[in-house]
Structure 1
Amino acid sequence: MLAALATLLVFQCLGEGLSYLFHIPVPGPVVGMLLLLGYVALRPASAATLEGTALEILKHLSLLFVPAGVGIMVSASALRGDVLAVALSVAISTALAIAVTALVMRAMLRRQRRLSGGPGERA
């Protein structure tokens, strides 16, 4: 578990470093995740090693939102004049995320039915 955690942290640090060094307009952790995806694609056996640790971290994912929540509460006075804009952007982005997720899920279910030739297949 320690080696897997170290691997995850190394890729996050690599992503941060590359994002900073090359002024990439993408957050470092996202770059690190893309690097990790490439690593797992090249070495599929490493996915099994990382899976247990990743699932354990995901069990406690809600704790990772505490610093962001505290940051919002601390800077709430700075957002006081933009409450309507923030609320609208959150509502619209949430609705769009739900709609896109539903469309992708629908397309994947259709594809799965088509590939398996199961019941409910539409022409």
Structure 2
Amino acid sequence: DFFEKTDIHIHVPAGAIPKDGPSAGVTMFVALTSLLTNKPVRNDVAMTGEITLRGLVLPVGGIKEKVLAGMRAGIRTIILPKKNEKDLEEIPEHIRNQMNFKYIQRMDEAIELALKHTEPLSAEREVVSVPVS
């Protein structure tokens, strides 16, 4: 009922933190889905990708830098747009071998990979806001 009666529009204006491109689309959609379904996001994955209004996942830039940042942060599973698979050739093989890459073409695939498959959060642990940085 909520989803049929509610439209959600997220606008991320320019501010103190510079942003370049739409690569946080997948991450913001997963975070919003987590909030609305009360299902937590896995804390061992990172993700990137642009999304269309129809839920298709488009390629983004800066894959090498994003993978290396994830590696430094201890992340070993990264969800990437399928069309960015070729960009992994820029990453040294010894680093690629330590990582687990999941390729997606649609947002339903991202949700399946990123959300924990457990019971929803209890009311006392319910997330009421999602910080955007």
TM-score by length of 1: 0.30
Structure with higher RCO (Cα < 8 A, 6+ apart):
2
Question: When you count strand as a share of all residues, which structure comes out higher?
Answer: 2
In our comparison, the structure showing a higher alpha carbon Rg is: 1
TM-score by length of 2: 0.28
Question: When you count helix as a share of all residues, which structure comes out higher?
Answer: 1
